[in-house]
Structure formats: C-alpha cells, structure tokens
Chains A and B, each alone.
Chain A
C-alpha cells in the first residue's frame, strides 16, 4: 500500500512535469512536421517566455492570466521573427545547414539573454499561495500550482486541437505539412502558414515557461536547454510531426523522469531521457504513433 501511494505521488508529479514537456514538444513537432527542421531554439523561446512572464508579474504588476497572455503574444512574435530572419532564407538549403543555424539561434538567445538579464537565476514570484490538496490522509497530495498547470495545459491543448482541425489556418498547416508543393498549387500562402506554425508553437512554449516559473520558482537564461532537449525527445518518442504523439510523449517523459528521481536515481535522470531517445531512434525512429515510411531514391 505504502509503495502504491509513493507511486501515485510520483505519478502526479510526473504528469505536471509532463504537461510542461508536452507543451514544448507540441512546438517542436509542429515545426518539424511543416518544414522538417529541429528548431533547436525552441527551448530558448520557452526561457524567454518565462522571463517575459517574470517581468510582467514583477515589474508591471500583472496577475497570472494577463502575464501568461503577454508572454504568449510576445513569444509568438519572437518566433515569427526568428523564422523570417534565420530559417526562411535556408528553406531550400540542406537540413544540416538549417540545423546549424538553429543551434546558432539557440546560442544567441541564451547568451544574448544573459547579457540582457544577467546570468543569475531569479526567483519567480509566488502567484498562487501554496496550498495542498491531500488524498489518503495526506500521504498523496497535489499542490494548487500543479492544478493550475493541468488546467492551463488542458485548455491550451483543446484550443490547439480547435485551431488545427476547425480553422482555415489549421487546414492550411495540415496541407503544407502533407505536401508543400501541392499546397502551394492550391493557392495556400506557405510563408504565412509556416509563420503561423512558429507563432503557435512559440506561444505554447511561452506558456510552458510561465508555468515552469510558477512550479519551480526559479528561472535562468540557460533553463531552456535541458527541458528543450527532453521535449524534443518527447516529440520523437510520440512520433515527430504528429500532434497527439507529442502530448503522449511529453506525459510519458514526465512520468518516467519523476519515477526515476522518485526512486532515488535523480542524478541519472538526464541519462535516462537520452537513453530513451537513442533506444527509440534505433528501434522505431518513427515513434509510437508514427507509420514507417520507406525511403525512396
């Protein structure tokens, strides 16, 4: 019984962590689906999102929801700028060239950010007073921060589902990711569609950044590297380019990580995440939800 309760507790922690990975992974997967680029800078947009949220709350005295929205809007603009300046000229270049550029953009955001906001970590303000909801006589509990994370993630995912499947932009996005040239022939504005994808992905990452600020209460300019990579692993795990795959992958990553740390191997948790990635890449590179595609000459 005791073991089961510990397991339940780690499951709750894992799902809240997983929500954050899932939000970041969605951006990775959407961008990869549409232009086949691993947007290395995505993890850093999440960092920028956290900082925007931080300044909106501390300097502009915003409450949680307006700060979240500000952060999402500013980061989607940032996402569009990055796409237009750095990735668009390389759309017909080799994928390696695009990947190197993405690494460059990522470093630029990290260290440019360091120059602007100093490398010191900052304490994220406590937006919600810490209260716990207990189950099983307090042996398993859930903080209200975790509750907020679940709620925001759920709302954003429903919203994303709506945008992708019920709006014209979403239809265009699906068309471009299916076949870029055919979409162009059908009169779809590819450039705007790709920009929209970056905007949506970046907005989700920004939301994840603000949520992580609330959850871990500490933010720093390099905070995006490891979660970014893990979210990428999550996207690959679920099948890159597939939206539900990113969500499932994100939750799985979060739960696995929480279980690894919960059972006393927290120093190994990064290695476990990358180990999963390598296993997936070797066994089934198309991920859980992916179909195997034969390579054509």
Chain B
C-alpha cells in the first residue's frame, strides 16, 4: 500500500514537473505568443474555479450557482490591497482568498439549511447581491470597475496555485472531513444518523470552495488590469457550473479536463459569443438527458487506469486502492 502510494506521488510530481518545465521553457524562450499565454493562464484559473465548485456541488452534493460572486470578492479585495494600499501580491492573494472564505462562511451558515433547488436560488441571489454591492461602492470604481491593477500574475503563480488547489482539494476529499462531505451527498439523513455534523461539513466545504474561488479571482484581477462587477455575473457562474457538470459531479480530474476543454473552446469561439452560449446550453441539456453524471461521473482519471489498460484489464475501480 505504502509503496504504491509513493510511486503514485512520484509519478504525479514528475508529470506536473514536466508540464511546468516545458511551458516555462517555452515562455522563457519567448516562443509562446501572448494569445496562447492568456488562454493558458485562463485554463489554470478556470481549473481552480471548477475544482473548488466541484467540492461544493459534486462532492458535498450542495448546489451553488453563485460561485463567481466569491471570485469577485477575491478579485476586489486583492486589487484594493495592491492598488490602493500598495501591499505585496502574495499578501493580496491571501487576503482575497480569506475574504472570499469569510463571505462564503457567512453566506453558508444560514443558507445551507436549505436544500437542493432552494439553495441554488439562494446562492444565485447572493452572487447577484455581491455584484450589486460592488456596483454601489464608489471606492472600488462602482459600475465602471476598478482599473489600473498591476499586471503581476504570471505563469508561475497560476501554475503553482492551480496545482496547490487541486492537490489540496484532492487530499481534503480523501481525509475524514472529505469522507464526511461525500456521505452528506450520498444521504444527508443517514449521515446525520451516523453522527456526522452535516451543517459543519457543508459550511466547511462551502468555505473552502469560496477560499479557492477567491484566490482564482485575485489571479484574474492581476492579469487583466481591470475588473468590473459585471464580469462576475450569473453567466460567469454558469460557465463554471457547465465545467463541473460536463466533467462529472464528483470527479476532480473531470473538472480539470472539462475546464481545459471548455476554455479552449471558448477561446476558439470568442468572436461568436452567442454560438458559444448556445453550445453551452445544448451541452447542459444533452448531458442531463443522456449522461446526468457527467463525462467522468465520479471516477478519477489516473495513471493506474492506464496501467490496467496496458495489462488488458477492464473495469478497474480506482477507489479500491
């Protein structure tokens, strides 16, 4: 057991290192043109958003459709720190994430008593309220937004924070707390009967999800120079929802793959915004009709699947190890 685990960790680090090294190499040599760089960074930010939303929607079985609101909190808090208060970037990221987590905690505490579709509407409402609050604060530029944000976010920042997000959430899910979250998804009443403090774990998942959304927001703000309340509207939340649903509710690798694929697709369809949204809409409907668990379901893509395929075995369960 211990040996396999070690091998896996080493392999994961190797793959990540290779990915990081090759792209870093391209950037250093100046072979990556700005268009690709933007999309590469967006992929990272979107992965952070999708994976953190998956913790709430996929693993804990709650249904949040206001995730962009937390992103907005992270973006604005961090931007205020760097622009208005001249604080260093790492501190700004941390503060943005913590602020988003705090808001997530405050929102989660009362609303997570609600179930299913009511919770969805409540989170949607909070997402919109956060947006309206920023529109009405003149200090952060009101409706026209906060501009002049320094361009600090680099590939390094995005890569390491994305990797950290994925690793953290994966480990969280495999921990006692994560198991408690999954049990809530499977059957809330049964989980409660088994002595799990469901409110505590729901709020915990919500807060952690909001924390990483805040970090993603901070990275976003410091890449695009300007943030506006309208950037973080309902449609933005829907973008992340589509990623989670497409990848599979309860599959981290599914979210990573879906975030990557959908970011590339939106980049290709940038000039046809309406067609992009029509495709998203059809994706949502078709997935729900034919494969409601999403492409990956709650399975994870991992190297051991490849190993098994190589040995010609079928239907290997990943979670049994």
Contacts and interface: CB of A to CB of B under 8 A. Distances in A.
Most buried by B among A100, A101, A105, A271: A100
Contacts, number: 120
B280 to A, nearest CB: 6
A282 B113 contact: yes
Interface string A268-294: 101100110110011001000000000
A111 B117 contact: no
A225 interface: yes
B280 A115 contact: no
Contact of A101 (B129, B275, B284): B284
B234 interface: yes
B132 A268 contact: yes
- Chain B residues touching A, majority SS: helix
B128 A103 contact: no
B122 A281 contact: yes
Interface stretch (B1-9, B78-86, B254-262, B285-293): B285-293
A38 B114 CA distance: 15
B280 A107 contact: yes
B281 A112 contact: yes
B274 A111 contact: yes
A105, A236, A271 — most chain B CB neighbours (10 Å): A271
Contacts of B122: 277-278, 281
Nearest to B286: A104
A281 B118 contact: yes
A107 B284 contact: yes
A229 interface: yes
Interface of A: 37-38, 86, 89-90, 93-101, 103-108, 110-112, 114-115, 119, 225, 229, 232-233, 236, 267-268, 270-271, 274-275, 277-278, 281-282, 285, 297
Interface of B: 63, 65, 110-111, 113-114, 116-118, 120-122, 124-126, 128-129, 132-133, 135-136, 189, 234, 238, 241, 245, 274-275, 277-278, 280-285, 287-289, 292
Given A104-B288, A107-B284, A274-B126, 4 more contacts: A95-B116, A111-B275, A111-B281, A277-B122
